[in-house]
Structure 1
Amino acid sequence: MSTANVDLSALSRVAPETAPPPARVPLPHARWRTRVLLPGALLAATGGLLLYAAGATLWPAVPVHVVPVLSKSGVSGASAPVDGTSGARAVVQAPGWVEPDPYPLAVSALADGVVQEVLVLEGQAVEAGQVVVRLVPDDARLALARVEAESRQATAHLAAVQAALTAAQREWDHPVELTRKLATAEATLAEKQAELERWPAELASAQALTEELRAELDRVTPLRAAGQASDIEYIRARQQYESQRAATDAIRARRPVLEAQVANAQAEVVAARENLRLRIPETRALEEARAAVAAAEAAVAEKQAARDEAALRLERMEVRAPVAGVVMNRMVEPGSKLMLNATEMQSAIAMRLYDPRKLQVRVDVPLADAAQVGVDQPAEIIVDVLPERVFRGRVTRIVNEADVQKNTLQVKVAILDPSPELKPEMLARARFLPVTPPGGPEAGGSLHLFVPEGLLHRMGEGQAHVWLADPARNVATRRLVTIGAGRIDQWVEVTQGLMPGDRLIADAPPALRDGQGIRILGETPATGGAPHGTH
C-alpha cells in the first residue's frame, strides 16, 4: 500500500493581518516566605537543637583535679606550724533560703474597705506608723457625720431630762403645794368647827326672835277681831312670825350639815398631812426623772462610743506600718478589697515587712545528718549573691516535724552579722561547725581558710583570683579572694571569697573560661606541703 505525499501547509490557517497580538498571562507571585524562609527557620532550629544536644561531644568537658580548701581553727597571724589533723571541719553542710527572723510581719487593714492608693512598693523601707495604704474614706466619713449628729441629739435630750430632774428635785426639797393644801385644809376645818360652835347661839337667837314674833302675833290677833288693828298689821305680824319660825327650823337643821362639814374638813386635813408625809407623786416624778437622766446618759455614752468607733474607722482608712522595716511582699493594688471577717485568712493583709537587721536561713538538713545539729551551734553562711563574704550564724530553732518528701529536717540559723544586701528567699549555704567544749584546746579560736599559694592568680596588693569547681553544675567558676597574713608552709590564708568546703581546680589550663564545663577526676594534694586529708 502506497501513500501519496500530502502538503500539510495547505491545512494551516493564515491569521489576518489586522488580528491583535495575543494577551500576556502574568506569572504567579513567588511565595518565598513559605517556600524559603519557613523551611530555613525549621532547619536552623533543628540544627541548633542538634548542636545543643551534641554539645558535650563537640565541646567535651575539661578534665581537672581539685584541691579542697583547708580549714584551721585557732590559727592567726604569721606562720604557725600545725599538724594536719587538728583542722576544724564542718560537721554538716546544707542549702537553704534567707528569710526574716523569726517571721515576716503582716501589715493588715483594721477596717474593711477598697484600696484607693498604695504608697510604698516592694523593697522600700518604711517607718513605724507610716501610712502605706489608703482606703476609700467616703462611706466612713459619712458614717462619722451621721453618728456625730445622733450624738448631739442625745446630748440635747440629756440636757432636757436633767432639767426635769432638777425641777423634780426642787419640788421634792420644797413641797410648797402640799404645804399649802395642808394649811388650807386646816383653815377650812377651823372654819367649820367655828361655825359648828356658833350654831347653838344662832339657834337660841332665832328661837327668841320667834317667840317675840309669836307674842306680837298673839297681841295683834284679838285687836283685829275688836277692830283696833288693821288687817295689814295682822298679816305683817303673822308673816314675820312664820318667816322667823322657818328660819329657826333651818338653823336647827344646819347642825348635821355643820357636823358633816367639820368631819370632811378633818378628813381633808388628814389626807393633806399624809400626802405631805408620803409625797408619792413627787417621789415617782423624782425617780422617773433620775431614770430618764440615767437612760439619757447611757444613750449619750452609746452615741459617743459609736462616734469614736466611726472616727476610728475613718482613721483606719489609712493603713499604717506597725513597726519599721522593708516591704517584702505587696498584696494589694488600687481597687483591691480588704476584708476583716472574710473566710480567707489573707483577705485583710496589705503587705508583709521584714527587718533587715534580723534575718535567718531556713536550712534543709538531711535526716541522716540531723543528729549532728543542735540549738546554739555555730555556723557559717554564704549567700550566692555575695560569694566573697562569709556570714556568722547560730542555730536558733529546729523544727519538730520532718519533711518526708525531701527526707530533711528544717533548721533555723540566725545571721549574726547580716548585710543590707541580703534579701529574703535568696539562696544560701550553711556549714554547721563543731561545738568546742569550754576550756578545750580550740576554745576561743576562729576558723581560718588556707589555699595553696600556687593556685592563687595574684591581681594586686592583697587581691587574687582562683578557679573553683562547681560540682552542682560541673562548671569552672572564677572567684575573687582577699589574701590574709596567715601562712602554713606554702598554704596562704584567704580572708574573703571562700568558704569551708570549696574545692579549687588544681590543674586549670590557661584557656579555661568562667562557666566552662569540667569533669572532676578526683582530689589531688597541691604543692604546698600540706598532707592530703587535712581539709
Structure 2
Amino acid sequence: MKMKISRASIALAIFGLLTAQGCSQRNTEVADEPEGLPVEVTVAEVTEMTKEVIVTGTVRTIQDASVVATFSDRVVEVTVREGDSVKKGQVLIRLDDTRARSVFQQNQAALTAAEKRLAILKAGARTEERAVAKNAVTAAKSSLDKAALDLERLEGLYEEGAAPKEQVDSARTYYDVTKSQYESALEQYNLMEAGARTEEIEAAAAAVEQAKAARDYAENDLENTILRSPISGVVYFRNINVGDVPGMGGDPLMRIAALEQVYLEASVPEKNFAVLAVDQQVSISADALPGKTFEGRVERLVPVAEHQSREFMARIAVENTGLQLRPGMFARGSVLLEKHAEAVVVPKEAMVEQNGKKTVFVVQSNRAEPREVTIGLENAAQIEILSGIAAGDKVITSGQEGLKSGQLVTVTRRQSGE
C-alpha cells in the first residue's frame, strides 16, 4: 500500500530541519564567545588638587595672666565664674578691708602731724612766743641777781659768825638753781631769735618722708584688697570662694586668657620640616569643634628638634573667629604647600607598575588599554595625572592585576564619578 505525501508535509519537514540547524549554530557561537575579565572602573575627573602637610598640637594663647593675692584677708566677694568674659581693670575679688583701712588712717594721721611740725620749724617762733621767752629771761635774771645778793650777804654774816653754815649752803643752792634757770631761759630765747637749726629741720623733713612711705605702703595694702583683671579675656580657671583667706603671692586664684589672639603650638615630623616656611597658610580644625575650620599662618619655626621625639615645633597664628578655640584644645593644621585648580585625577588604586613604569589601564571597546602616565600631586586617596590620560577616560580601579594590552574586560561595577 502506497502512502501519499502532501506538499504541506514536505514543507513542514524542511522548515523544522532548518530551524534545528539554526539553533545549533547559535548555541555553538554563544559557547565559543570568550568571557571578559571582570573589572571595576571610574571616570578620570577634573578637580582641585592640593599638596598638604598635616601637623598636630595644642592651642595656646598669646596673653595669659594669673590673678594672685598680694594682701591676705578674708574674701568677701567673688564677681566672676569660669567661662566669664572680663575687661582689663574689672573687679574680680574683694577682700575684707577693715584692717587695711584702719592702718592706712593711722599712717595718714602720723603723716599729717609730721608735716605740721616741719612747717612750724620752717616758719620759726611767732612774735608772741618771742615776747614770752624774753620775759622769762628777764624774770630769771632778776631771780638770779637777788639770789647772788642774798648769798653774798649771808657769806659775810657767816664770816662774822652771825649766820649758820646751813643757811649759807641753802643760799648757795638757790643761787645755783636760779643761775641754771636763767641760762635755760636765755638759750630758749636765743634759739627763737636765731630760728630752728638746719639739723632740726632736716630731721623733721626726714620724719615726713618716713611717714609718707608708711602711708603709701598702707594705701597700697588697702588698694590690694580689691583684685582686678590684668587683661581683657576669659576666665578659664578659678580657685577661690567667699570666706577663703588666700596667702600672699601663693597659687593663682584665677587665670585669664586673651582669646582674640591664639596660636597652635604644633609638632612637625622631621621629614616635613624642610617644606615648611614662615607665612604659609594653614587650615586649622579641632576635635572639640567638628565641622569648623579656622585660618592660620606659620608665624615661627624652631630650627632645633626636640631631643626625645626628634620633632620640630612650629608656631601657627590663628584667627580665632567667634572666640571658639580655647587654650589647651587639641588641633590639627593643614599646611597648604601647592594647589592645582584644574587637575585630572584618578583614585590611587588605579595606579600600577608595569615594566618599572607608572601605568593606568583605561577601558575602550570593552578592552583594556595600558597608558604610561606622569603623575603630579597626590593625597591619601587621589593622584593627579599630568599626561597619559584625559578627563572622562574610564580607568580601571580593581581587577587590573595581570591585565594585558587589548585584553577583553567586563565592567562589574562603576564607581562614583562616571
* TMscore range, shorter length: 0.5 to 0.7
Q: 1:93 aligns with which of 47, 54, 63?
A: 54
Amino acid paired to 2:235: V
Distance 1:155 1:451, change over 3 A: farther
Distance 1:288 1:135, change over 3 A: same
Q: 1:137 aligns with which of 97, 104, 107?
A: 97
Distance 1:145 1:284, change over 3 A: closer
Match of 2:267 in 1: 364
The CA deviation at 1:139 is 2.6
Amino acid paired to 1:338: G
Q: Deviations over 1:209-259 (max 9, x none)?
A: xxxxxxxxxxxxxxxxxxxxxxxxxxxxxxxxxxxxxxxxxxxxxxxxxxx
Amino acid paired to 2:85: A
Pairs aligned (count): 264
Q: How many Å separate the matches in 2 of 1:525 and 1:322?
A: 63
Distance 1:391 1:285, change over 3 A: same
Find the residue that maps to 1:87 and give its secondary structure.
strand
Superposition pairs of residues 60-71 of structure 1, within 5 angstroms: none
The CA deviation at 1:401 is 5.0
Superposition pairs of residues 47-126 of structure 1, within 5 angstroms: 87-90=49-52, 92-100=53-61, 102-126=62-86
Match of 1:174 in 2: none
Scaled by the length of structure 1, the TM-score of the pair is 0.42
Matched, 1:312 2:220: yes
Match of 2:238 in 1: 330
Superposition pairs of residues 285-434 of structure 1, within 5 angstroms: 286=194, 288-334=196-242, 335-340=244-249, 347=250, 349-399=252-302, 402-434=305-337
**Matched-pair contact (CA < 8 Å) for 2:259–2:320:** no
Q: How many Å separate the matches in 1 of 2:290 and 2:278?
A: 26
Q: How many Å separate the matches in 2 of 1:291 and 1:525?
A: 107
Over the matched positions of the two proteins, sequence identity in percent amounts to 29
**Matched-pair contact (CA < 8 Å) for 1:377–1:435:** no
Distance 1:321 1:525, change over 3 A: farther
Match of 2:417 in 1: 528
Q: How many Å separate the matches in 2 of 1:112 and 1:502?
A: 60
**Matched-pair contact (CA < 8 Å) for 1:378–1:435:** no
Q: How many Å separate the matches in 2 of 1:502 and 1:320?
A: 51
Match of 1:56 in 2: none
Find the residue that maps to 1:337 and give its secondary structure.
coil
Off by >6 Å, runs of 4+ in structure 1: 500-504
Q: How many Å separate the matches in 1 of 2:193 and 2:415?
A: 108
The CA deviation at 1:132 is 0.7
Q: Deviations over 1:310-353 (max 9, x none)?
A: 1121011111012211112224344242323xxxxxx2633221
Find the residue that maps to 1:154 and give its secondary structure.
helix
Q: How many Å separate the matches in 2 of 1:363 and 1:526?
A: 37
The CA deviation at 1:425 is 1.6
Q: How many Å separate the matches in 2 of 1:108 and 1:97?
A: 26
Q: How many Å separate the matches in 2 of 1:368 and 1:362?
A: 18
Amino acid paired to 2:298: V
Superposition pairs of residues 200-211 of structure 1, within 5 angstroms: none
Amino acid paired to 1:365: V
Scaled by the length of structure 2, the TM-score of the pair is 0.52
Q: How many Å separate the matches in 2 of 1:502 and 1:138?
A: 68
Distance 1:103 1:155, change over 3 A: closer
Gaps of 5+ in 2: 1-41, 135-188, 348-377, 383-412
Gaps of 5+ in 1: 1-66, 71-80, 172-176, 178-280, 341-346, 437-441, 453-499, 505-523, 530-535
**Matched-pair contact (CA < 8 Å) for 1:98–1:423:** yes
Match of 2:118 in 1: 158
Match of 1:4 in 2: none
**Matched-pair contact (CA < 8 Å) for 1:133–1:350:** no
The CA deviation at 1:131 is 0.8
Match of 1:343 in 2: none
Q: How many Å separate the matches in 2 of 1:332 and 1:373?
A: 44
**Matched-pair contact (CA < 8 Å) for 1:162–1:289:** no
Q: How many Å separate the matches in 1 of 2:120 and 2:241?
A: 51
Give the structure with the larger strand fraction. 2
**Matched-pair contact (CA < 8 Å) for 2:125–2:192:** no
Q: How many Å separate the matches in 1 of 2:251 and 2:194?
A: 52
The CA deviation at 1:502 is 8.2
**Matched-pair contact (CA < 8 Å) for 2:82–2:237:** yes
The CA deviation at 1:126 is 0.8
**Matched-pair contact (CA < 8 Å) for 2:68–2:248:** no
Q: How many Å separate the matches in 1 of 2:324 and 2:380?
A: 23
Distance 1:313 1:525, change over 3 A: farther
Q: How many Å separate the matches in 2 of 1:106 and 1:430?
A: 29
Superposition pairs of residues 169-188 of structure 1, within 5 angstroms: none
The CA deviation at 1:166 is 4.6
Q: Which has the larger radius of gyration?
A: 1
**Matched-pair contact (CA < 8 Å) for 2:305–2:312:** yes
Distance 1:331 1:451, change over 3 A: farther
Give me the CA root mean square deviation. 4.5
Q: How many Å separate the matches in 2 of 1:299 and 1:154?
A: 6
Distance 1:430 1:312, change over 3 A: same
Q: How many Å separate the matches in 2 of 1:296 and 1:358?
A: 54
